[in-house]
Amino acid sequence: VVAVTEYTVVYDAAQLVRNSEEGLDAVADAAVAVEDGHVAAAGATDEVVRAYPPENAAVAVDASGKTVLPGFVDPHTHAVFAGDRADEFTAKLRGKTYQEIAAEGGGILRTVRAVRETPREVLVRNLLSHLDEMLAHGTTTAEVKSGYGLSVESETKLLAAIRDADERHPVDVVPTFMGAHAVPDGWETDDYVDHVIEEQLPAVADRGLAEFCDVFCEEGIFSVEQSRRVLAAGSEHGLTPKIHAEEFERIGGAELAAELGAASADHLLQATPEDARALADAGVVPVLLPGTAFALDADYADPEQFAAAGAEVAIATDFNPNCFSQSMEFAVDLACHGMRMDPGSAVRAATAGAAAAIDRPDGPGRLREGDLGDIVIADVPDYEHVPYNFGVSTVETVLKAGKIVHDTR
Ligand code: NIG
Ligand code: FE
C-alpha cells in the first residue's frame, strides 16, 4: 500500500528566496513543496520534484520565469477603523502639518469619534476589505493595532473585530492593544494612563484579545515614564511590548524599548546610532515605516545605522487613515527608492525581519523546511525587479499554508 499525501508544489521558478540566519539565500531554478501547511522541501527544482512530482500534486504551479518569495509580513498597521480622512490629505498638500490637523480636531481623535459610533460588524467588514488589498500585494501575515477606541468598550470592540476578521480571512492577523495611542477629549494624560492600565488592559487581557501592547511614546503624547508604566503593566498581563518611538522628537523611546526587551521599536526617524546599538544589543527589532515619511513628506529613517549596529531590520506599511497604503510591495519600493535600502535588504526586512518584529522567528517570512507554506509568486525574474518595477503590482499568485488564496494568472 502506497501512502498518498496531498501536497502543493511550485516548480521551475527562475528564483526562490528562502531566507536563512545569515541573509536572503536566493536559489536559481528552484521549487518549493508544501505539505500539511508547512514547507516540506525548498531548493533546486530537480531535487524537489523528484520527491514531489507536479503530476501527483494536489496543487501544482509552474513558476517559469518568475520569483518565489515568502509571503510578506506586515508588522505594523492600524488597519481597523471607520470614517474618512481624505480631506486631511489635501490639507497636508496645501501645507498643514499633521500636528495642526490634530489640534483642529482631525487626526487620530477624528477616527476615534467615527469608530465609537460604528458597530463591530461594520469594523469587521472594513478590515476584511483592507486585508483583501494586503493579500493582493503579497501580505500573508499582518499585525493590526487597536487604538481608535480609547475606552474599555471601544478598544475591546476593535480587538474583537480584529479577531473576527482573522477567523474569516486567509491573512493571519496578529492583534496588538494600543489604548495608549492618544489621550481622548476631556482627560488629563496621567488619569488616562491610569485608566488604560486599570480598566482597559485587564478587560483586553482577560478576554485574550491581544498578543502585544503598544504605546505612542512622543513629545506631547505619552512620555517615556508614562509609556514605561503602560508597557510594564502590559507585560504583567502577558502582552509583549512594542513602542512607537522617536518619530517626531527623540525623547528616549528607543532606550525604553531596549530596557524592556520590547519585540520592536517603530518609526525611529529621529533615532541616533546609540539608539540603534541599544536596540540591536537588546534584540529589539527596528521597524521602519517609509510610507509614513512619504505621506508626511518627512525625512526617511536611516536603515544603514540599524544594519551597522547589527540589528535585524523590519519594514511595515503603518497602514492607517494618515498613511493610506495597505501594500507591502509599496513599502519595499519606498524602502529602496526613498530610504536607499538595497533590494535584497528590503525584501529581507519585509519577510524574515518583519516576522522577527512580531516574535515569529521561525514561522512566516522564510521558506525553509518546516516553515509556514506562505508563498508569493511575483511575475519578475528575480527579487531585484520587485522594487525596480515600482507603482505596479508584480504579485501574481499568493498561497497561504500551501493553498492558493489569490491569483491573477
Ligand atoms: O503610526 N503615530 C501614531 N499613530 C499612527 C497615525 C495614526 C493616525 O493618524 O490615525 C502612526 O503613524
Ligand atoms: Fe503606527
The model's pLDDT over 232-254, given as tens digits with 9 standing for 90+, comes to 999 999 999 999 999 999 999 99
* Among 76, 320, 325, residue to substitute to test ligand 1 (most atoms within 8 Å of Cβ): 320
The model's pTM: 0.97
The model's pLDDT over 253-299, given as tens digits with 9 standing for 90+, comes to 999 999 999 999 999 999 999 999 999 999 999 999 999 999 999 99
pLDDT surpasses 70 at 2: no
* Among 76, 296, 323, 325, residue to substitute to test ligand 1 (most atoms within 8 Å of Cβ): 323
In sequence order, what are the beta bridge partners of 7? 35
Q: Are strands 172-180 and 139-145 parallel, antiparallel or unpaired?
A: parallel
The model's pLDDT over 304-320, given as tens digits with 9 standing for 90+, comes to 999 999 999 999 999 99
The CA–CA distances, whole Å, from 28 to 70, 109, 371, 372, 377 equal 15, 50, 20, 21, 14
Question: How many Å lie between the centroid of ligand 1 and the Cα of residue 374?
Answer: 28
For the chain, counts of helices (H) and of strands (E): 17, 16
Contact 111 CB / ligand 1 (< 6 Å): yes
Q: What is the mean pLDDT of residues 117-122?
A: 98
Contact 318 CB / ligand 1 (< 6 Å): yes
User: Residue 393 phi/psi, 5° resolution?
Assistant: -95, 130
Please name the residues in contact with 251: beta carbons below 8 A apart, sequence gap of 6 or more: 217, 218, 219, 223, 224
The model's pLDDT over 16-57, given as tens digits with 9 standing for 90+, comes to 999 998 899 999 999 999 999 999 999 999 999 999 999 999
Q: What is the mean pLDDT of residues 90-119?
A: 96
Question: How many Å lie between the centroid of ligand 1 and the Cα of residue 318?
Answer: 8
Q: How buried is 103 (Cβ within 10 angstroms: 0-12 exposed, 13-18 middle, 19+ buried)?
A: exposed
Atom 3 of ligand 1: nearest residue by CA position: 216
Nearest ligand, measured from the Cα of 218: 1
The model's pLDDT over 200-234, given as tens digits with 9 standing for 90+, comes to 999 999 999 999 999 999 999 999 999 999 999 99
Which pLDDT belongs to residue 5?
A: 81
Please name the residues in contact with 292: beta carbons below 8 A apart, sequence gap of 6 or more: 247, 267, 298, 318, 322, 323
Angle value at C-alpha 16, between 10 and 18, nearest 5 degrees: 110
Q: Using the structure block, give the residue that is written with the C-alpha cell 490629505.
A: 89
Contact 292 CB / ligand 1 (< 6 Å): yes
- Contact between 375 and 18 under an 8 Å Cβ cutoff? The reply is no
Q: What is the mean pLDDT of residues 116-121?
A: 98
Look up residue 204 and give its three cell numbers. 483586553
Question: How many Å lie between the centroid of ligand 1 and the Cα of residue 169?
Answer: 24
- pLDDT confidence bin for 1, thresholds 50/70/90: low
- Contact between 91 and 101 under an 8 Å Cβ cutoff? The reply is yes
Which pLDDT belongs to residue 363?
A: 79
CA distance 186 to 341: 43
Which pLDDT belongs to residue 362?
A: 67
Look up residue 72 and give its three cell numbers. 510578506
- Contact between 231 and 262 under an 8 Å Cβ cutoff? The reply is yes
The model's pLDDT over 333-371, given as tens digits with 9 standing for 90+, comes to 999 999 999 999 999 999 999 999 999 976 799 999 999
Q: What is the mean pLDDT of residues 72-93?
A: 98
* Chain centroid offset of residue 391 CA: 20
The CA–CA distances, whole Å, from 345 to 22, 222, 349 equal 12, 32, 6
Nearest ligand, measured from the Cα of 77: 2
Average pLDDT, the chain: 97
* Among 74, 215, 322, 323, residue to substitute to test ligand 1 (most atoms within 8 Å of Cβ): 322
Query: 252 by DSSP, 3-state: which?
Result: coil
Q: What is the mean pLDDT of residues 118-125?
A: 98
Question: How many Å lie between the centroid of ligand 2 and the Cα of residue 76?
Answer: 6
Question: How many Å lie between the centroid of ligand 2 and the Cα of residue 316?
Answer: 9
* Chain centroid offset of residue 91 CA: 27
Angle value at C-alpha 218, between 252 and 224, nearest 5 degrees: 45
Question: How many Å lie between the centroid of ligand 1 and the Cα of residue 188?
Answer: 20
